Amino acid sequence: MIAVEDLIALVRNYNPKTNEERIRAAYEFGRKMHEGQFRHSGEPYFSHPVAVAAILTEQRLDDATIITALLHDTIEDTKASRGQIAELFGEEVAMLVDGVTKLTNLQLSSRETKQAENFRKLFMAMSKDLRVILVKLADRLHNMRTIRAMRPEKQLQKARETMDIYAPLAGRMGMQWMREELEDLSFRVLNPEARNSIMRRFITLQREAGDVIHRITSDMRAEMEKAGIEAEVFGRAKKPYSIWRKMQEKNQGFSRLSDIYGFRVITRSEEDCYRALGAIHRRWRAVPGRFKDYISQPKSNGYRSIHTTVSGRDGKRVEVQIRTQQMHDVAETGVAAHWSYRDGVRAENPFAVDPAKWIAGLTERFDTEEDHQDFLEAVKLEMYADQVFCFTPKGDVVKLPRGGTPIDFAYAIHTRIGHACVGAKVDGLRVPLWTRLKNGQSVEIITAEGQTPQATWLEIATTGRARTAIRRALREVDRERFIRLGRELARAGFEHVGRRATDKVLDLAANHLRLKDRDELLARLGSAELTAHDVVQAVYPDLAPDEGEQIPPRRAVIGLEPGQSFERASCCQPLPGERIVGITYRGKGVVVHAIDCDILGQFEDQPERWVDLHWHSGTHPAVYAVTLDMTIGNDAGVLGRICTLIGERKANISDLRFIDRKPDFYRLLIDVELRDAEQLHSLMLTLEAENDVAAIERHREQVRTGAAAS
C-alpha cells in the first residue's frame, strides 16, 4: 500500500501548493474507517482507495478529487456519513463522495430497461460534477487490474460491464489510454485464448523482424531533424484487444493485419504539426483514405491531432498521430484536462473543453427519448462513435459517427429535412441512402413534399438523433394501427357483456373517461394504456364483470420477512399457481423465480440467498404479465381474431412486438396480463386450436452468465 507521504509527493510533483494536511487527514480518516476490512486478495481494503488516488495523480487532478478518491467507499462500506465528511472536509468533497457512492449503487449490468434508467442516472451524476465519473473510472481501473482475486462468475460480470459501459465512456471523455487498458483487462477475462494467441504472434513477429518500433522511431526523428522541426517521437505496439477488434472488423488474420504499430510526433506549435506531416509523407507513402485532421475539425471532447497511416519499412503500415504538447495533454486526460494542475496552478489549456458544455451536448439529444430501449441504444451509439466530417453544398461542416449515411446527414441538418428526404448526392453523384459517408465528402439531400420516414430507415441510420426522430414519426403512423386494434378489442369487450361497440357508445365512453374523442379512446385501448374492461365499465358499470375480492399484488407472495419487498423475475415470469423460490439481492429485496428457472443454477453455491416462498391461495387480479411467442398467418383479420380470442379469455394485451415478418407468416411476442397459471394454460389451448396459429409457446429470456451477481 502506498504510504501517505509517497502519495503527497505524487501530488506535489505537479501541484507544489497542495494542501498536504487535508490529504494527510483524509488518508488517516479513510484508513481508520476501513480498519479491519480486507479485499478478496487478502490485502487491507484501504489499499484500494489509495491506489485509486494514485491513478488520479497521473492525471494531475486537484486536491478535492484526490481526497474524494481516498474517501470514495466510506459512505458505502463504513459507518461514516455524508454529514461527517462535509464537516471534516467541506461540502465540495462530501458532494463528490456522495456522487461516487450513488454511482457505485447503480446496477449497470441489469436488464435492458433498468440499464437505460441507470444510464440516465449516470449522466445526471456526471452533469453535476464530472469529477464523480473520473473517480469512478479510476476505481474501476484498479478493480480490473486486481480482478483475478474475484470469483470467476464475478470476473465475467465486471469485465462485460467494463467493456460495455466504462471503457467506451472513458474513450468518449477523451481518456484513450484508460479506454485501451480497460478494454484489454476485460479482454483478458472474456477471451483469454484469443488474447494469448495475439501475444504469441507478437513475440514471433518481434523475433523475426527485430525491434521495428526502435528503427521507425529513429527514422522519424531523423526526418524531423532534416526538416528543422523540434519534436519528440514515440512508438508503441497496439494493445491486444485493439488488434483483435481490427481483425474482427476487417475479417483478417493476424498475418495480414498491417497497422499494429502506432507512433506519436509531439511538436512545439500547430504550424509544426503540418510541417511534420509533410516531412513524413515525403519520406513514406501515405495510405489513401487513412488521413484525418482533428486539428481543423476537433472532436467534441476537445481532442485535436492529425492522423495518417503510411507504409514504413518492408511495406509495413504504421499509424502516425501528430499534435502539440497542449493537444497531447488533452488527448491523454480528455475532459479531465479542465481540472489538471501544472506547477501548482490550474493548467490553462486552450484545447480543454468545458465539462458542463460537453456533458450537456452529450445528453440533450436523449432528454426527449421516452422509450427506455431507444435511449439505451442511442447512448451506446454515441459512446462508441468515431467521427467523420462532411460538407453541405454551402460549405457548412456536419459531424457524423463513422459509418454515417445520408439519412444521418439529413437529420443532422434538421428533422424536417430528414423526414422529407427522398435521395442524396455525394460529390455531385446520386447515391443510395445506405451509402457510408467518408471524410471530406460534399452531401446534398434531395427532398420532396409528402414524403414520410420509412421503417427501413431504422436499419440505415446510425445516429441516435436520426433513429429517435424516425421512431417518433413512425409512432404517429402506428397510431392508425392502434386505432384499428383498439376497435377490435372494444368490439370483443362489449360483445362479452351482450352489447355493441357503436360510435355513439364509444363517444360516450371517451366522454366519461375525459378523452378528446373516440379515436383517442381506441388508440389508447390498442396501445394497452386502457383495457376493454375500463371502457365497458365507463358506459355500463352494472354490466362490467365484477373482479370480486382479490388479493393485492403486494400481498400475493407468502414467506417474506416483515417489510421485505419482492418483484417477479423477468427471465421466467412466474404466475400464481406455479411453484416459486426467492433470491435475495442487496438493496433490491427478493426476486421471485419459477422453481424450474434456468438461472437458479447460478445460485447453487449461495444457499443463504434462497427464500422458501409460495403464492397466496386466493383470487388474484389479472396483472401478472407473461410473454407469448407466436407464429401466425399473414392474412387479413388474423391479428384481430387473435386479439379477440385473448380478450374473450379475460386477458389483457399490454404489449405486442413483431420480431420476424415473412410473406406468409408473422412471428410476434405478445405480453398478456393474467391471473394465474390456470388462465395461462386455458389461453394457450384456445390459441393453439386456432387454424391461423402455426406455433405458440411461453417466451422466456435466455440466461446470461454473470447475471447472478448481487
Strand residue runs (E) in 504-620? 557-558, 566-568, 580-585, 589-594, 610-612, 614-615
CA torsion sign for 277, 281, 283, 288 is positive
d(CA 491, CA 455): 30
Instruction: Report the residue count for the chain.
Output: 710
3-class SS string, 433-448? CCCCCCCCCEEEEEEC
In sequence order, the 6+-apart residues with CB closer than 8 A to the CB of 393 are: 442, 444
Helix (H) or strand (E) holding 628: strand 624-633
CA 400 to CA 437: how far, in whole Å?
9
Residue 590's DSSP bridge partners are 566, 584
| Beta-strand relationship, 285-286 and 306-311 | antiparallel
DSSP 635: S
Cell 497511416 sits at which residue? Answer: 309
- CA distances in angstroms from 257 to 177, 242, 285, 306, 628, listed in the order given: 22, 12, 18, 22, 46
Selected catalytic residue, list 76, 87, 367, 517? 76
- Strands 589-594, 580-585: pairing is antiparallel
The values of phi and psi at residue 447, to 5°, are -120, 165
Active-site residue, 76 included: yes
C-alpha–C-alpha distance, residues 17 and 542, integer Å:
80
CA distances from 65 to 55, 93, 339 (A): 11, 8, 9
Q: How many CB atoms lie within 10 A of CB 226?
A: 11
Q: What does residue 44 show for φ and ψ, rounded to 5 degrees?
A: -60, 140
Query: Which entry of 77, 164, 371, 374 is annotated as an active-site residue?
Result: 77
DSSP 3-state of 490: helix
- Collapsing DSSP to helix, strand or coil, 88 comes out as helix
| Contacts for 306 with CB less than 8 Å, ≥ 6 apart | 273, 274, 277, 291, 292, 293, 294, 295, 321, 322, 323
Beta strand 387-391 with 421-426 is unpaired
- The 3-state secondary structure of 48-82 reads HHHHHHHHHHCCCCCHHHHHHHHHCCHHHHCCCCH
CA dist., res. 459 & res. 465, Å (int): 14
Instruction: Report the candidate in 659, 657, 645 with the shortest Cα–Cα distance to residue 693.
Output: 645
Catalytic sites, residue numbers: 76-77
